[in-house]
Amino acid sequence: MPSYWERMPAKNLFACPECGLFYPVEALAKKCAAWCRVHPGTCDPGIIGQAVKKR
Ligand SMILES: [Zn+2]
| Residue that wins the pLDDT comparison between 53 and 22 | 22
Q: What are the extents of the domains in the chain?
A: 7-48
Amino acid identity at 55: R
Distance 3 CA to ligand 1 centre (A): 17
Asked whether the beta carbons of 11 and 5 are under 8 A apart, the reply is no
Distance 49 CA to ligand 1 centre (A): 11
How high is the pLDDT of residue 43? 74
Distance 35 CA to ligand 1 centre (A): 7
Q: Which pTM does this prediction carry?
A: 0.69
How high is the pLDDT of residue 32? 92
Provide CB contacts within 8 A for 47, sequence distance 6+: 28, 31, 32, 35
Measured distance CA(50)–CA(8) in Å, rounded: 16
- Residue 34, φ and ψ in degrees, nearest 5: -65, -40
